[in-house]
Amino acid sequence: MLLTAAVIFTYYTIWALILPLLPADSTFHDRFPSREWAVKLPAFILLVGLTGIGGLLGMVMMKEAQKKRAKIGLKSA
């Protein structure tokens, strides 16, 4: 898993930071997607990740509230 992360980091670093410094006719430009995707892809991943975290937190909070309501209902009965 660490090796995969290192490879992805290296690929993205070359794509986003080093590739713009190379001439446009360089053969390295053929091996990478358009530079606009260097911004769009991480933004999309961030959006999906934050949405997932927010959804998970919302579900946990709702279940905890249901447990508290059930506990209060049992005490009063």
Residues 25 and 6 grouped into a single domain? yes
Residues 22 and 50 grouped into a single domain? no
What is the pTM for the complete model shown?
A: 0.70
Helices (H), 1-77: 2-13, 37-76
Residue 52: domain span: 36-76
- The pLDDT, as a whole number, for residue 76 is 60
Residues 41 and 68 grouped into a single domain? yes
pLDDT-based confidence at residue 5 (cuts at 50, 70, 90): very high
Residues 51 and 26 grouped into a single domain? no
Number of domains observed in the structure of the chain? 2
Using alpha carbons, select from 25, 3, 1, 21 the residue that is nearest to residue 13.
Answer: 21
For the segment 1-19, the average pLDDT, to the nearest whole number, is 92
Residues 46 and 19 grouped into a single domain? no
Residues 44 and 28 grouped into a single domain? no
- On the question of pLDDT at 52 being above 90, the answer is yes
